[in-house]
A and B are shown apart, each in its own frame.
Chain A
Amino acid sequence: NAGVTQTPKFRVLKTGQSMTLLCAQDMNHEYMYWYRQDPGMGLRLIHYSVGEGTTAKGEVPDGYNVSRLKKQNFLLGLESAAPSQTSVYFCASSDRGGKYEQYFGPGTRLTVT
């Protein structure tokens, strides 16, 4: 099993550009999450999904959109990138929700200039 994979690993964007980060998991997990990690701030939840076709806002959702068209995939979109969105983005999945282990991907380092 590959577990949780993320594409791309690195990306540099100019302010105002758009992009989509792809997360895929092969563990048949219902729950999927997108976090951002900034120095000194830990991991902050952007959006999450409790099943195919569902999405919900997390702690810091502004400027991001998500979609979960297939159970195994969770997409994070930035419509108009801003320098404040420079961060490392992690996707995670879980079998049974917030009270159980989350499996993390390797991360995507995004720089917005």
Chain B
Amino acid sequence: GENVEQHPSTLSVQEGDSAVIKCTYSDSASNYFPWYKQELGKGPQLIIDIRSNVGEKKDQRIAVTLNKTAKHFSLHITETQPEDSAVYFCAASELRDMRFGAGTRLTVKP
């Protein structure tokens, strides 16, 4: 089955700096790669996703890049704000079975 690894497990940045979280996956058949944000005491919420026919996708301060050859994808957050502080999960999916990374706790210091 699919195995997703996520790094780093914790990340601390100053407000206004950029943050990058990286994930690798093992199953070359995976073709859908979402990113979820989980705030304290809540369920995860989708913030951006990318499909295998696209190399990069942007949504305001958030971008995701995908390298299918190397089987890795990354989340980039620019101009970070305190409200970006949360746990972020990457995931990879082929059809029905979505596998999640272990999560990255991002702290943005004011």
Contact = CB atoms under 8 A, between A and B. Distances in A.
A83 to B, nearest CB: 22
Interface in B53-110: 89, 93-103
B64 to A, nearest CB: 14
Nearest to B46: A101
Given A42-B6, A48-B96, A98-B95, A107 B43 contact: yes
Nearest to B6: A42
Interface in A34-68: 40-45, 48, 50, 56, 58-59
Contacts of B42: 106-107
Contacts, number: 63
Nearest to A33: B98
Contact of A40 (B9, B41, B93, B98): B9
B101 A99 contact: no
A95 to B, nearest CB: 12
Contact of A97 (B9, B34, B95): B95
Q: Looking at chain A's contact residues, is the secondary structure mostly helix, strand, loop, or mixed?
A: loop
B26 interface: no
A56 B95 CA distance: 14
A13 B83 CA distance: 35
Contact of B44 (A56, A90, A98, A99): A90
B44 A50 contact: no
A23 to B, nearest CB: 11
A58 B97 contact: yes
B4 to A, nearest CB: 8
Contact of B95 (A44, A99, A102, A106): A99
Contacts of B100: 42-44
Interface of A: 4, 31, 40-45, 48, 50, 56, 58-59, 90, 92, 97-102, 104-107
